Amino acid sequence: MSDIEIRDERDKGILVARAAGEPEGAVFGYIQYFVLDAPERALVPVHTVVEREYEGRGIAGSMARELYAIAARESIAVAPLCPFVVEWAARHPGEAPVASPELMDAAQRALADDSAKW
């Protein structure tokens, strides 16, 4: 879908898909995530939402792709806990490096220790 713009709103912990060129335009969807600092810095997506009227347009996949692209630009990992992102990553191994078991364990512990991350 080429009429969307995906922005990282790191301070809010979301990656947001909106109408292109409309900074406060309709939100098509978002990925909620948090940043993990140890054992290594990583983005940890926990939830993906696409508004019902925009489903089936590839928005969730575009957001997952951008999340991994952001991590690659920052030279950090992605430790996906969101089921959609886990499935997307499995279908796109060339774009989605697998996180180590240690990193995944740390991400799960961080989420369990702080329900505000969810």
Residue 117 has pLDDT above 90, yes or no: no
| Phi, psi (rounded to 5 degrees) for 8 | -90, 115
* Separation between Cα atoms, residue 44 and residue 108, nearest integer Å: 9
Whole-model pTM: value is 0.92
Above 80 in pLDDT, residue 2? Answer: no
Q: What is the pLDDT of residue 97?
A: 96
